[in-house]
Amino acid sequence: MIELVLTVCLMTAPEECRQERMPFEGPLISCAMAGQFAAAEWLQTHPKWSLSRWRCGPQEIRT
C-alpha cells in the first residue's frame, strides 16, 4: 500500500515540524501526480501549518 507523507511546520514556529501520513489508494505514479492536490487540501483544513515537503512511498508498518 502507498501513502502520502507530508512534512509540515508550524507557521508561528517554523522549526517545529512533524510528518502527516495519509493512505493513498492506487499506484505510486498516481500518488506522485495527485500528491500536490492532496497536500493543498490538507493545508486548507490546517491553516496553522505550512508545507515543507511531500513524498509518496510504501506505507510504513506501525506496531
> What mean pLDDT value characterizes the chain?
92
As for how many domains the chain has, the answer is: 1
CA quadruple 29, 9, 63, 23: dihedral sign: negative
Asked if the structure places residue 49 within a domain, the reply is yes
Asked if the structure places residue 23 within a domain, the reply is yes
pLDDT bin (cut points 50, 70, 90) of residue 21 is very high
Asked if the structure places residue 30 within a domain, the reply is yes
Report the alpha-carbon distance of residue 43 to residue 29 in Å, rounded. 22
pLDDT value, residue 63: 61
Asked if the structure places residue 38 within a domain, the reply is yes
Mean pLDDT of 31-47: 94
User: In which domain, by residue range, is 45 found?
Assistant: 2-58
Task: Report whether pLDDT(62) > 70.
Answer: no
In the chain, the percentage of residues whose pLDDT exceeds 70 is 97
Asked if the structure places residue 63 within a domain, the reply is no
Comparing 17-21, 30-34, 52-56, the range with the smallest average pLDDT is 30-34
